[in-house]
Structure 1
Amino acid sequence: MIEFIFEIFGEVLLQLIAEILANVGGQALNRRQDEPVNPWLAAFGYTIFGLIAGGISLLIFPHHFIHTAVARLLNLVLMPVGIGFLLALVASWRSDSASGSAWHRFTCAYLFALSMAAVRYIYTTSA
């Protein structure tokens, strides 16, 4: 049971760190522009960043932290929703214009985490 908790914690930590790095990069790019970012373009960008982060994470951690197939599938489905809610909560807590709306933050965080988790899931189940 304790091993399972460490497995989940490792996946959460990996996705949170990658999401925070992508968020910092996205905000840095947004500050350079005078007009707001198109939400569809931001969603596409976060999806691409998630795919790239998933590939990079496989170079660093080639084996999935979660070892059972059912738990990996649950991770693929539930983790992006949890990460999205967590970052939407942070956006509403910050409540400044730099963080964007909570819904926009949820969507971008969800797409980033989903694409990153999908890369890791597909690679580790096919390997």
Structure 2
Amino acid sequence: MDEFFLALLSAAAELLYEVFFQVVTEALVAFIVRSIRNVLKESTAINPILAAIGYLLLGIAFGIASLLLFPHPIFHPSKFRGISLLVSPVVTGLVMSQVGIVLRRKGKQTVRIESFGYGFAFAFGVAIVRLLV
């Protein structure tokens, strides 16, 4: 019974770490996108489907880069390893959605990654890479 609780605690810690890592990474991406958008004021709107695919690919790229920084898992993989592929992007998407809501309430412009769908796509890309390795 103790092993089950230890495995459950390990899975929760792993999930919290992944969410934290993905939120910090998405905040960095939002900063970069916002900076680029300020430089290119007259950019044209991108198709939402292409933007989602772009954020997914960007997430995969950041996932690969994270493997260079952290080649070994910080937490020992738990018995519930695959659950992070779904739960982590959902939680990260919800956090990014709330960031977007707060920014809009303050009258600031948001970037696409500060919404649930695009935040989910980015975090899903990171999670796929981290899960497969």
- TM-score normalised by L of structure 2: 0.77
Instruction: Sort the Cα spacing of 1:19 and 1:66 in 2 relative to 1 into closer, same or farther, 3 A.
Output: farther
Q: What does residue 3 of structure 2 align with?
A: none
The percentage of aligned residue pairs carrying the same residue is 27
Task: Identify if the C-alpha distance between structure 1 residues 54 and 4 changes in structure 2 by more than 3 Å, giving closer, same or farther.
Answer: same
Residue type at the aligned position of 1:112: F
Q: Is the 8 A contact 1:92 1:101 kept in 2?
A: no
Please say if residues 52 and 118 of structure 2, whose CA atoms lie closer than 8 Å, have aligned partners that are also in contact: yes
Task: Give the equivalent residue in structure 1 for 2:32.
Answer: 25
Q: Residues of 1 paired with 2:103 and 2:12: CA distance?
A: 30
Unaligned runs of 5+ in 1: none
User: Which whole-Å deviations, capped at 9, do the CAs of 1:13-57 have from their partners, x for residues lacking one?
Assistant: 211111111111122222223245312332222112101110011
Give, in angstroms, the shift of residue 117 of structure 1.
0.4
- In structure 2, the CA distance between the partners of 1:43 and 1:19, relative to structure 1 (3 Å rule), is same
SS of equivalent to 2:45: coil
Equivalent position to 1:55, from 50, 64, 69: 64
Match in the other structure for 2:109: 98
Counterparts of residues 74-113 of structure 1 (less than 5 Å):
74-95=83-104, 96=107, 98-100=109-111, 105-113=115-123
Instruction: Note if contact 2:19-2:91 (Cα within 8 Å) is conserved in structure 1.
Output: no
RMSD: 2.3
How many equivalent residue pairs? 121
How many angstroms apart in 1 are the aligned matches of 2:16 and 2:57?
A: 24
Larger Rg: 2
Partner of 2:17 in structure 1? 10
After TM superposition, the score normalised by the length of structure 1 is 0.80
TM-aligned CA deviation for residue 119 of structure 1: 0.5
The residue number in structure 2 matching 1:119 is 129
